[in-house]
Amino acid sequence: MHPPPTPAPLLRASHLVKRYGDTEVVSDLSFEIAPGECLGVIGPNGAGKTTTIRMCLGLTTPDAGHIHGMGLQMPQDALAIKAQLGVVSQMDTLDPDFTCAENLLVYGRYFGLKDAEIRARTPDLLEFASLTSKAQARPGELSGGMKRRLSLARALVNDPRLLLLDEPTTGLDPQARHLMWERLQLLLQQGKSILLTTHFMDEAERLCDRLLVLDHGRKIAEGRPRDLIAQHLEPDVVEVYGVGALALQDSPLRALAARVEVSGETVFFYTANAAALLQALQAHPQLRTLHRPANLEDLFLKLTGRQIREEA
């Protein structure tokens, strides 16, 4: 199976290094984003995700390495590159004194767009963000999800080719997240490219064509979500929890799994053949079991560890 020849990447980062003092927060990081692609960057807090996005925007100068975007080079062409980007940062930077419509107008002007041009686009942008009825509301009157969608609409004001989204759904309730996902999928269908950082593995699995797993500033895995799971994990997971579950990790059941992990009160059995294990577990009716396919969360935890980190 050979994919068709890939077109020139929209954005290419090669061998990026960023140090703050003695700490290397990004180490020899290279990646590309193809037109129409959604690239997910996942990693624990402090993995270097935001620093990477800031370097792509020319807001942080790499200590080594290069970034090319849309045929231009950072940092000398930073403004010309940013003219073709849409950015949603981790923290909303909406103007609290302006209505939703004014937020779009003022932001569009930063791109050199004419007022008439922006005003003509405003109804569509607000509709896209499901904020038509809130055109005259100020951000303070909006819910968290509405604010994020207004930030997304604002990032689209210049009709960018590539969107850089830094944790676009962090802090949102499930309904607001699903609406955001739906909008992002719509953008991908329209042919836009997205670079997305996230903590949510379901989000990464649902939206991203390809994933970059970062830890301590290093790329520790890269590939399609399903391929990564198949490559790194056994296909089945049996989670066992309840009183006495922890004792199972040293029991004969261990031999029925390829790999066993413990997190908190739960024992995770990773296996290619769950049937034998599930049958053996019937001898422990007091325990609760959950049989499911391996997912990205398992991959993430395998690659970056289950321990809570001090810096997290």
Partner 1 sequence: MKTGADHALSTRASGTNPSPWRAPRLSWRFWPVFLRNLLVWRKLAIPSLVGNIAEPLMWLVAFGYGMGALVGKITVAGPDGPTAVPYILFLASGSVCMSAMQAASFEALYSAFSRMHVQKTWDGIMNAPVGLDDIVLAEMLWAAFKSLFTVTAILGVMLALNISHSPKLLVAWPILLGVGITFSCIALIFNALAQGYDFFTYYFTLFLTPMMFLSGVFFPLEQLPHAVHVVADWLPLSSAVQLVRPLFMDQWPQDALRHLAVLAAYAVVSFWIALALTRKRFRL
Phi-psi label, residue 129: left if phi above 0, alpha if psi -120 to 50, beta otherwise? alpha
Applying the rule CB under 8 A, the residues between 244 and 303 that interact with partner 1 are: none
Q: Specify the long-range contacts of residues 233-236, CB closer than 8 Å, at least 24 apart.
A: 233/270, 233/294, 233/298, 233/299, 233/302, 234/258, 234/259, 234/270, 234/271, 234/272, 234/294, 235/272, 235/293, 235/294, 236/270, 236/271, 236/272, 236/273, 236/274, 236/291, 236/292, 236/293, 236/294
Q: Which residues contact 1 (CB under 8 A, 6 or more apart)?
A: none
| Side chain identity, residue 8 | A
Report the C-alpha gap between 290 and 268 in whole angstroms: 10
Nearer of residues 7 and 21 to partner 1, judged by Cβ:
21
Whichever of 20 and 259 has its CB closer to partner 1, that residue is: 20
Q: In angstroms, give the least distance from the CB of 102 to partner 1.
A: 7
Tokens matching residue 86 = 């849409």
With 0-12 CB in 10 A as exposed, 13-18 as middle and 19+ as buried, what is 241? middle
Asked if 170 touches partner 1 (CB under 8 A), the answer is: no
Per DSSP, 268 falls in state E
Binding of partner 1 at residue 174 (CB under 8 A)? no
What is the nearest approach in angstroms of partner 1 to the Cβ of residue 28? 6
Between residues 87 and 256, which has the closer beta carbon with respect to partner 1? 87
Taking CB under 8 A as the criterion, the residue among 50, 60, 169, 304 binding partner 1 is: 60
User: Does 158 contact partner 1 by CB under 8 A?
Assistant: yes
Q: Does 141 bind partner 1 (CB under 8 A)?
A: no
Q: What dihedral do alpha carbons 250, 294, 28, 89 form, nearest 10°?
A: -120
Site string for partner 1, 21-50 (x = CB under 8 A): ------xx----------------------
Q: Among 3-11, 89-97, 233-241, 298-306, which window interacts with partner 1 (CB under 8 A)? A: 89-97
Single out the segment in contact with partner 1 by CB under 8 A; choices: 105-113, 121-129, 171-179, 274-282.
Answer: 105-113
Q: Which stretch binds partner 1 (CB under 8 A): 88-96, 192-200, 270-278, 294-302?
A: 88-96
72 is an interface residue for partner 1 by CB under 8 A: no
Q: Which residues bind partner 1 (CB under 8 A)?
A: 14-15, 17, 27-28, 57, 59-66, 78-80, 82-83, 85, 87, 89, 91, 93-98, 102, 106-107, 109-112, 155, 158
